Amino acid sequence: MNIRKGTQQDMQAVLGLIQELAAFEKEPDAVLVTVDDLIRDGFGPVPLFHVFVAEVDDDKSDSEPAKQIVGIALWYYRFSTWKGKTIHLEDLVVKDKMRGTGLGYALYSEVLKQAKKDQVRRVEWNVLDWNTPAIELYEKSGAKVLRDWFVVQMDEIGINHFVEDKLK
C-alpha cells in the first residue's frame, strides 16, 4: 500500500470512488461532478481541494506491477471564526473489497498528519448516523462525534428559488 498526493491523472479513479461512496450512502444518482470538474477545481491556480490516494499493486498485470487506486481522502482548508485555519475532510472512501485492511485508517492518519504539519486547530467532517464502523473508528481515534449539531444544506434548486423568488 502506498499513500500519496493525488494528481490530475488520478481523477478518473477518484471520481469512481466518489461514485462508489454515493452508492454506499444510498444516493447513487447524486454525483454531478465530472473528471473535468475535479481537474479544474483541484489543480488550477487556487486549488479548491486536495486529495490523498491509496494505491496497491494490481494483481491483474502480467508484466510490470501496475498500481490501482483503492482509496481516497479528499479535503480542503476552511476558516473558523473561533479556531482560525481548519481542515474539512470531505470524503474518506475505501473500495468495498479493501475495507478492514487498515487502508482507511492510513488515509485518515495522512489527513491528520497534514493538519499537524499545517498547524490547524481543528479537522472536521461528517459521518452518517448509521455508519457505525466509521463512528467507532473516529471515536476510538480520539475524535468527538457531535450529536447535537445538524448538517444544513441548500441545493442548487433551493439556491435558485431563494435568489429568484425570495430576493425580489
Active-site residue set: 138
Residue 26 Rama label (left phi>0; alpha psi -120 to 50; beta):
left
DSSP conformation class of 125: -
DSSP state of 159: H
- Residue 156 C-alpha cell reads as 442548487
Give dist(CA 124, CA 144) in Å, integer.
10
Q: Which of 135, 137, 119 is nearest to 127 (CA)?
A: 135
* Residue 85 cell numbers, joined: 485555519
What distance, in Å, lies between the first and last C-alpha atoms of the chain?
55
